[in-house]
Amino acid sequence: ESLDQGLQKTKEGFLSKIGRAIAGKSTVDTEVLDNLEEALVGADVGVTTTVQIINKIEARVAKDKYLGTSELNNILKEEISSLLVDAPDSGFRDFDTPAGIKPYVIMVVGVNGVGKTTTIGKLAYNYKKAGKSVLLGAADTFRAAAVDQLTVWSERVGVPIVKQQMGSDPGAVAFDAVQSGASKDVDVIIIDTAGRLHNKVYLMDELTKIKRVMKKVLPDAPHEVLLVLDGSTGQNAVEQAKQFTAATEVTSLAITKLDGTAKGGVVLSITNQFKIPVKYIGIGERMEDLQVFDKEAFVDSLFS
């Protein structure tokens, strides 16, 4: 799916909410701003980010004296873009790995059901397509389904997988995967982990342990800790991001399931609020449905 198609529901929701916010009004006045504030919060942009956007528009209204509601879409787009100028950007565009780092180890974390396994499959597909050799590590050893599903993805994409029996030590799987990848000189190793947020101390310990064990093979691994969030849960995804980033060091974010939801405004909220860049967005279930996130393209698409 294209970005425009993938964001269809969010776009429709967003534009219709803005339309309602200005219905029957010719100028942007306090009432319009109040309605707009409500519309943005309702579109999952989040209170903090919404207030910042409204403040910017308010300042603009004060400066320009008159703002017609017909211009509001463009103004909103400009102000959201300018708000995100300083937001983190992964700089990543073409599934290349950093020079001198091989294997490049990605540890993928996130709560069950958010689309972690699917995202790993999509990443493997994209790296492979970019000419990189890839190996998967099934360190979510608590759910048989997780290992099975990752195995299906490894077959679908055509990349090797390192796994052990269900219930085995996740650290041992991670160790094996990194060792095997290093000895085979693969470019990218992607490690799945269990995501059981209901026990935060446990989760933190487990992720710390997996990292520690990897470092026995490669001292600077993991090079990336990717947190996967389900965009269709809206502001809940923001809460999960807060909890995970408190539990372990996260270096990049993926926001999935944006195709089936009108809550895509959460991407603006997360981009604006976290110091960690959104690196990928998921806009479908197929392996082609992962996009490298580009904040400008995203805002453009929202208003197109």
**256 marked among binding-site residues:** yes
**148 marked among binding-site residues:** no
Identify which of residues 217 and 283 has a Cβ nearer to ligand GDP in the complex: 283
Identify which of residues 21 and 283 has a Cβ nearer to ligand GDP in the complex: 283
Identify which of residues 76 and 191 has a Cβ nearer to ligand GDP in the complex: 191
**117 marked among binding-site residues:** yes
Options 259, 263, 267, 291; binder of ligand GDP; rule CB under 6 A = 259
Angstrom distance (rounded) from CA 55 to CA 134: 46
Give, as ranges, the residues between 269 and 298 that touch ligand GDP (CB under 6 A).
282-285, 289
Cα-Cα-Cα-Cα torsion 183, 185, 186, 191, nearest 10 degrees, comes to 30
Binding mask 89-128 for ligand GDP (x = CB under 6 A): ---------------------x-xxxxxxx----------
Q: Nearest distance from residue 114's CB to ligand GDP, in Å?
A: 4
Prior bond to 103 cis, omega within 30? Answer: yes
Q: Which residue is nearest to ligand GDP (CB)?
A: 282
Q: Nearest distance from residue 182's CB to ligand GDP, in Å?
A: 25
Binding mask 127-166 for ligand GDP (x = CB under 6 A): ----------------------x-----------------
Residues within the annotated binding site for GTP?
110-117, 192-196, 256-259
